[in-house]
Amino acid sequence: MEKDAVFSDLAARQPSFRAADAAAWLIEAEAAAFAALRAGTAAWALPCFDRLSDRWPDSARLHWLRALLLREEQSHEAALRAAQEAVRRAADDARAQALIAQLRYETGRTAAADFAAARRLAPDDPGLIRGQAGALAAEGEGAGALALLDRALADRPGWVEGQAYRATLGRLCGIKGREDGGFAAAAALQPRNLALWMAWFHWRAKTKDWAGARDVLAQARRACGDAPAIEVAGLYLAAESGEAQDRPDLFDGHAASGDPGLMLAQVRHALRCGAPDRAAGLAWAQIGTPAASLFWPYLSLSWRLLGDDRASWLDRPEQFISVSQIGLDMVALEELGALLRTLHGAAAPYPDQSVRGGTQTDRPLLFRHEPVVRQVRSAIEAAARDYVDALPPPEPGHPLLGTPRGEVMFAGSWSVRLSAQGYHAAHSHPAGWISSALYVSLPEPAMLGMAPAGWLRFGTPPPELGLDLAPFSAIEPGVGRLVLFPSTLWHGTIPFDDGERLSIAFDVRTPRF
């Protein structure tokens, strides 16, 4: 069947809106739309739903489905209009109200009131509580966001996503002391809730609070016994804290685990223990699985340590790192910088981010509605297309060159603001295909310090692995300069003395077709 045949058939069989079979047909249309969303074929479905919405303008469900498809295609402004049309046709449609709130949030608009409106229609939906709290925090109402979460968690202490978000939001809002006190209170109420203990453990592990994570694990073991999840968490803790660096056999008996997170911990532990051959074998076994993007960067490290030529085949920094000017004049860059500064209201970065000595925004930056953001998004999309068009011929099996080269879509976009001695720890981007750095504002040269202070550096491994590998290269930032590179490349920045370093980063997602 042709890729869009199912949608053409759906449109051809559309009944009269008043026909007896209209309700059943709409259920079929909804199933087709969700199948397209799961398969990544929203673009193929949209022409059909455009026609159907025109044919049946009073159908709130069709407008809502069309809005979902438009959002998937990252046409957020059109998606918002479609969702608003759905609510105009059915004001009590909780799904459409929730979508309006989410789209307003993602496009940088105020959204707390919209989430509240959706919650009145679906009061038991915890996702809407989280959304409203995030919107309140984004609108400068951090105290209100924390109070909302506290009320919700008092009613549902075992809501593990809510507890983790409450702890994270407490950190972003600058709460002093234990941000994760909600976990402690909930665990006292539900001591047999293993999922709650594990969420608490993982939150502390993300913050690198190894002593605190060890304490949570000990409490979990007393409350729940020797559950397999607790045993695995203990192995992870021993590996990531560095306390088992002299135990290369730490994970023996768990090598066949299908958990990508546990497999990644094994790879990292093998590297810490000086066994790159073992790390390479474990990582290679994950290539070809849905988790492959987590393991390519560690294959690079392993192969480099082993002197394996496949490291050069994979990384090719001299070929894959591109530096260009974004094409915005200084007026636009200054306007963009002024907007970005208003978005950096957090007191600290997220605990699992690479930012040190600065903050990172949380909403998808390039979907914002402001004209200057639309302008920079257009320029970024053009530059990314040029980068893809200039890539070498396809090579099956390569994470950059072996994928389809279709549309430019984003897996994430954000801004980072660093201050004195700020930097990015070495990291990679497993959610992306192509990653980036766009410099919007930089300190005066006299404030930076001696070169290469503030530069972007490639190829340096995470310091906690203790690997003796030199960087491939370093690139000097420049206002308006855009750097594009494969998401598998390790990269970080060098601290600078003083001033402000304001940038935008984004990941281009791997095309599916």
What is the amino acid identity at position 130?
R
Give 397's contacts (C-beta < 8 A, 6+ positions apart): none
- Residue 1's pLDDT is 37
Q: Is the pLDDT of residue 132 over 50?
A: yes
Q: Is the pLDDT of residue 23 over 80?
A: no
Are 83 and 103 in contact, with CB atoms under 8 Å apart?
yes
CA 252 to chain centre: 32
Give, as one character, the DSSP assignment of residue 367.
G
> What mean pLDDT value characterizes the chain?
93
Are 52 and 13 in contact, with CB atoms under 8 Å apart?
no
Query: From CA 402, how far away is CA 488, in angstroms rounded?
Result: 13
Where does the pLDDT of residue 349 fall: very low under 50, low under 70, confident under 90, or very high at 90 and above? Answer: confident
Query: From CA 362, how far away is CA 507, in angstroms rounded?
Result: 14
CA 496 to chain centre: 27
Q: Is the pLDDT of residue 4 over 50?
A: yes
Q: What is the pLDDT of residues 173-208, one digit of tens each?
A: 887 667 899 999 999 999 999 999 999 999 999 999
User: In b/e form, how buried is each residue of 477-513, taking b as 16+ CB within 10 angstroms?
Assistant: bebbbbbbbbbbbbbbbbebeebbbbbbbbbbbbeee
The SS3 assignment for 323 reads strand
Token pair recorded at residue 454: 């503030």
Helix (H) or strand (E) holding 221: helix 210-224
Percent of the chain with pLDDT over 70: 95
For residue 290, count other CB atoms closer than 10 A to its CB: 8
Q: What is the pLDDT of residues 310-322, one digit of tens each?
A: 999 999 999 999 9
pTM of the predicted structure, to 2 decimals = 0.94
Are 417 and 500 in contact, with CB atoms under 8 Å apart?
yes
Query: From CA 267, how far away is CA 273, in angstroms rounded?
Result: 10
Place of tokens 């459409």: 96
Where does the pLDDT of residue 12 fall: very low under 50, low under 70, confident under 90, or very high at 90 and above? Answer: low
- Residue 313's pLDDT is 98
Query: From CA 347, how far away is CA 453, in angstroms rounded?
Result: 24
